[in-house]
Structure 1
């Protein structure tokens, strides 16, 4: 009997003529856009806070925004919530408690829901950690960036290294057995020893998760207009290789381009992003990715400026774009190929509703270039593919 698979690509599985789309898990992203001050490298939607944060009005707006998005839940519970910013820890526990209660009244929480709050190491915020934990927030992401005074000054940070260490101690004391430290490398005038010194101090705090990523200079930032002196490419490469080895030595497995975790401690909220899950986005400038039971997938975004978001005469929604079938392969792979282990090949059809063999020609080309692993059951970048991810993704552009 002749083989029914394509002879030109025998390493790929046979075509499934009826791919079955499945509604993915649902998460919630909450954007709180205020910071004490704007950092010179930051291109996020963040704004310097005034003396009085409009907590009550903003929580009211967030809940009204969520009300308008409720039809997109389609009966699914929330598997995770992420408070991002900005600096969400500027908000009081009372305000966040009212918000969480309001969210749960509208959408049920999964029994094992992960709720993450981004926090900065300032002393004032540390005092709130215990109250946050009692609300049900069970994961912190602490924005350290560096422990060295000169590097923190160059980055425009308002804390010092000692405060960052105390923040980790107080997180544990408040009952957080799961927390991330956010750390940057490739900083102005940073040497290999500087970068590894930061990593060693971070590891000594025993976080369950480390986000360790290279500083990039983005448009519409102070650094873009006044570029700092950054390390040479050879130094950046040495930092990357030596840092990854140090993290692995201490039990932090790299599971995504810039994410390292102890066993079982990968960030579930972010894994949902990277496996093309759905997420509601509420708050000024928040983005979402949503699916319908019939397989329509869209990207959404909200009104960007806080003053407009808080204006009852204006809409929370600023736009929605439905992804075409031609765009879905790139959109899907742009996320899953960031993961060190990629994903099961069958997830492509489950998340997009498209047949797997739609990727056949591009997969074969990427495999010949050594950028994609030759495994018919998985979609996984090679080591070279991870290093040159943009080159790999070019094969899947519409």
Structure 2
């Protein structure tokens, strides 16, 4: 039997529970993009803001019955297109959250937004509510590519959106940008990055377009750049971002110093998070050592009609090493090795056989104090993770 497999009796209770975040899912978009496999639905004629906020707060109340309450370190409002909702709706939501959960003093509150939904008055009101980070789904600054991606905004509107956000008082802004787009060459990809950098965000999420099941692109796949072109784009883009002071701290995340996304860091460091909203996921640890994953019903109408949790799963010991490393090894610097025991309750020696195998292949650092991929391991992350997955079966 592999050293990764053990009985549940070996897991220790937690001395301290991990940080706690909250994810809120708003499931509506004006139109679903052909590449998108997120839980998003076309906006109804009348957006049920009030009813949905009621459902979110009711959902949160039920979740709190099953967790050890800790101060929230971050809130992330994602979608869909959350910026379709009014500031009034978010005021009621945030007040309701704060009524039942304490917040850390420096809590990060992120709102996802699309350029086509920007209104200066609305975004100034968002900022006044305490929302202090915007993640703007730009995807490209090339009008032809935006049309191919099914986006409703153009390049000029994307640039205006960032300016509106900055005038509204947002100083912590992420821009979402894709590369490897249909027909995109190296010059065009770098032009997108250059335009993003000139807008002076402090975080850029830059990731390759992938074709996912259950999307329009899956059934009608576009012609994407060849692998050699994709590699050239990746290498040149990373060099440009580094030259401009953006530090790559995760597979597709680049930030100015001290501007990493705290909410996402909590995911990657195997922290806890409550998930509310249609299609939301959560992960919660208990003091006795149990770790539960759960997910909510995906259909907005079902969610509004009090059909909330769609399923749940207690993670067993054989699953935990892979689950932990699938997140932690995405980070460029990895994590302190002691975090494995702190977040899973399992002894570190359960990883030794696979860890040594990964080191022998040059995929993980030979540093007993850190669980981290080498440069080669980061390039072949799926191969690295396969070592731990195979060992756990």
TM-score over 0.5 for the pair: yes
- 1:32-51 correspondence to structure 2 within 5 Å: 32-51=26-45
- 1:115-130 correspondence to structure 2 within 5 Å: 115-122=109-116, 124-130=118-124
The answer as to 2:360 corresponding to 1:374 is no
Structure 1: which 5+ residue stretches go unaligned?
1-15
Q: Which residue of 2 aligns with 1:351?
A: 343
Q: 1:317 aligns with which of 309, 319, 332?
A: 309
- 1:78-157 correspondence to structure 2 within 5 Å: 78-122=72-116, 124-157=118-151
- Please say if residues 117 and 141 of structure 1, whose CA atoms lie closer than 8 Å, have aligned partners that are also in contact: yes
Residue 355 of structure 2: SS of its match in structure 1?
helix
The answer as to 2:321 corresponding to 1:329 is yes
Q: Which residue of 1 aligns with 2:288?
A: 294
The 1:21–1:325 alpha-carbon spacing in structure 2 relative to 1, beyond 3 Å, is farther
- Please say if residues 30 and 84 of structure 1, whose CA atoms lie closer than 8 Å, have aligned partners that are also in contact: yes
Q: Which residue of 2 aligns with 1:225?
A: 219
RMSD (Å) for aligned C-alpha atoms: 1.4
Residue 324 of structure 1: SS of its match in structure 2?
coil
Distance in 2, matches of 1:24 and 1:213, equals 28
- Please say if residues 349 and 356 of structure 1, whose CA atoms lie closer than 8 Å, have aligned partners that are also in contact: yes
The answer as to 2:165 corresponding to 1:171 is yes
Q: Which residue of 2 aligns with 1:250?
A: 244
- 1:185-200 correspondence to structure 2 within 5 Å: 185-200=179-194
Residue 321 of structure 1: SS of its match in structure 2?
strand
Residue 176 of structure 2: SS of its match in structure 1?
strand
Report deviation, 1:390.
1.0
The answer as to 2:155 corresponding to 1:184 is no
Q: Which residue of 2 aligns with 1:212?
A: 206
TM-score, scaled to structure 1: 0.94
Distance in 2, matches of 1:310 and 1:245, equals 47
TM-score, scaled to structure 2: 0.95
- Please say if residues 119 and 125 of structure 1, whose CA atoms lie closer than 8 Å, have aligned partners that are also in contact: no
The answer as to 2:254 corresponding to 1:260 is yes
Distance in 2, matches of 1:20 and 1:350, equals 7
The 1:121–1:17 alpha-carbon spacing in structure 2 relative to 1, beyond 3 Å, is closer
Structure 2: which 5+ residue stretches go unaligned?
1-9
- Please say if residues 13 and 287 of structure 2, whose CA atoms lie closer than 8 Å, have aligned partners that are also in contact: no
Distance in 2, matches of 1:340 and 1:126, equals 36
Residue 326 of structure 1: SS of its match in structure 2?
coil
Residue 64 of structure 2: SS of its match in structure 1?
helix
Distance in 1, matches of 2:103 and 2:112, equals 20
- Aligned pairs, number: 381
- Please say if residues 253 and 260 of structure 1, whose CA atoms lie closer than 8 Å, have aligned partners that are also in contact: yes
- Please say if residues 21 and 349 of structure 1, whose CA atoms lie closer than 8 Å, have aligned partners that are also in contact: no
Report deviation, 1:298.
1.1
User: Residue deviations 1:88-120, cap 9 Å, x none?
Assistant: 000000001100000000101110000000001
- Please say if residues 83 and 117 of structure 2, whose CA atoms lie closer than 8 Å, have aligned partners that are also in contact: no
